[in-house]
Amino acid sequence: MNSDQRAAFITRRQFVTSSAAVLAASGFARDARANEYLVERPQQSGRGPFRVIIDTDPGVDDALALLLAMRSPELKIEAITPVAGNVPLELTLPNALRMVEIAGRADIPVAVGAKAPLMRRLVTAAYAHGENGLGGAVFPEPKIHPVNQPAAELIRQIVRKFPGEVTLLTIGPLTNIATALNLDPELAGMVRAIVMMGGSLSGGNITPAAEFNIYVDPEAARIVFQSGIPITMVGLDVTRKTSLTEEHQRQLQAGQNPVSQAAATIARNALQHNRERGFVVGPNMHDSLAVAGFIDPSLLKLKEYYIDVETTGELTAGETLGYSPDAGDLRRRPGMEKDAAATNMPIRGSAPTLASTRTSPVVRDKFVPNASVAVNVDSARFFELLIGRLSGKQ
């Protein structure tokens, strides 16, 4: 296969044709696992190692997240699977290879992922990450090469090799993951968990409604959220509290190792990029927080939600909707949440139009959570972990 064939391992028509079957099959897995979606995760730094695949679209914060992961003994990284997102695949792929080289981790396979969303044209975020994805920081061309398998196939192979052991750390659009689930309808039941950077319950960052990773490929995100895989969603509700500062950059610059120096260069350029464009704060470390939250879950406060993704809204496509019996105007008094949720909280779709004879679609007849959503973060401790690992102090 050439690179274009690998990136488009299945066609979009094939995906649409078969994805209904995937969702139908995943419904059984979702119901069977509804009470066990809070799968054991590392409870503190120092445990593991845990098998992970990192799906990513480097990206400034992706690059630092990759370096953090590769400097963390808690993680056994089985593969890195770049995807188009912050910048096109032609840049995310070599950026990922560069980070692997800088970290001295050529043992980690890197596979070519999707170059476009499942059903949409690619929207990138060069306005935030610079034209090369790294805030304008320039590194040599990578000497290592990706493996022959397409990303979705490599994900499938690794998960099947280690059923129940692999956590997917997804810090980009979810195209590769949805494609893997489409290729293998049994795969969802074999994935240990997903920890994703994506989504928001408090407004978006590319539209007022949508967070970027979900916005880029909302159809893929919906498949993932409805797959039955245990999900931890680390979204804008917490990542907005992780702004990189000049002091962080100086601490990285003081580190005497290639990873710290590369991270400092990326940070310096990203900070300058933000200043030139008038942003009030430095770049947020969205993706690094998702990785750090898996390494040390005590950094995050989590709350159970049923999450679904808007895919048809003209102005709201990519919005993540969170349903909960004890949040917002639907909240119940303490002690009543479970009873009320079981009987009085169907998950509804939009009201029917005058031209339609159907009633409002009920997605679920009762509240059953499908995700743990991060609602608060210890930002100081997060940066202690991030800067400490990258600078070599931890």
* pLDDT single digits (tens) 11-20: 444 544 455 4
CB 141 within 8 A of CB 202: no
Q: Which two tokens stand for residue 316?
A: 């709201």
3-state secondary structure of 98: helix
The CATH number of residue 148's host domain is 3.90.245.10
Average pLDDT of the residues of the chain: 87
Give the number of domains in the chain. 1
Concatenated DSSP letters for 319-348? PEEEE-TTSGGG---TT-HHHHHHHH--EE
pLDDT at position 106 over 80: yes
CB 68 within 8 A of CB 291: yes
Q: Among 1-10, 71-80, 127-136, 197-206, whose mean pLDDT is lowest?
A: 1-10
Q: 365 in a domain, yes or no? A: no
Q: 37 in a domain, yes or no? A: yes
Mean pLDDT score, 58-63: 93
CB 194 within 8 A of CB 72: no
Predicted local distance difference test score (pLDDT) of residue 111: 98
Tell me which of 25 and 146 has the higher pLDDT: 146
Predicted local distance difference test score (pLDDT) of residue 38: 38
Q: 360 in a domain, yes or no? A: no
Residues 6+ apart with CB under 8 A from 189: 29, 33, 228
For the chain, first and last CA: distance in Å? 42
259: enclosing H helix or E strand: helix 258-276
pLDDT at position 127 over 80: no
Q: 264 in a domain, yes or no? A: no
Measured in degrees and rounded to the nearest 5, phi and psi for residue 78 equal -80, -25
CB 211 within 8 A of CB 236: yes
Q: 255 in a domain, yes or no? A: no
Tell me which of 336 and 35 has the higher pLDDT: 336
Q: 111 in a domain, yes or no? A: yes
Using a 10 angstrom Cβ sphere, with 0-12 exposed, 13-18 middle and 19 or more buried, the burial of residue 48 is middle
Residue 211 domain boundaries: 3-242+279-311+371-391
CB 219 within 8 A of CB 317: no
For the annotated catalytic residues, the residue numbers are 286
Predicted local distance difference test score (pLDDT) of residue 32: 43
Q: 248 in a domain, yes or no? A: no
Predicted local distance difference test score (pLDDT) of residue 356: 73
As a three-state string, the secondary structure of 168-189 is: EEECCCCHHHHHHHHHCCCHHH
Percent of the chain with pLDDT over 70: 83
pLDDT at position 8 over 80: no
Give tens-digit pLDDT for 202-234: 999 999 999 999 999 999 999 999 999 999 999
- Beta carbons within 10 angstroms of residue 311's beta carbon: 18
Q: Which two tokens stand for residue 298?
A: 């005590």
CA-based Rg of the chain, rounded to a whole angstrom? 20
pLDDT at position 5 over 90: no
Residues 6+ apart with CB under 8 A from 378: 298, 299, 300
Q: 256 in a domain, yes or no? A: no
Predicted local distance difference test score (pLDDT) of residue 338: 62
Can you give the pTM of this predicted structure? Answer: 0.88
Q: Which of 92, 77, 103 is nearest to 3 (CA)?
A: 92
From residue 390, give the alpha-carbon distance in Å to each of 129, 173, 261, 264, 383. Answer: 20, 25, 9, 9, 10
Give tens-digit pLDDT for 377-386: 999 999 999 9
Predicted local distance difference test score (pLDDT) of residue 326: 77
For β-strands 300-309 and 231-234, DSSP reports them as: unpaired
Predicted local distance difference test score (pLDDT) of residue 241: 96
From residue 106, give the alpha-carbon distance in Å to each of 80, 96, 109, 144, 147. Answer: 11, 11, 7, 7, 11
Percent of the chain with pLDDT over 90: 68
Mean pLDDT score, 152-163: 98
Predicted local distance difference test score (pLDDT) of residue 35: 40
Q: Which two tokens stand for residue 261?
A: 């120096």
Residue with tokens 């909240």: 331
Q: CA geometry: angle at 231 spanning 378 and 205, to 5°?
A: 60
Distance CA 340, CA 326 (A): 10
Measured in degrees and rounded to the nearest 5, phi and psi for residue 194 equal -120, 130
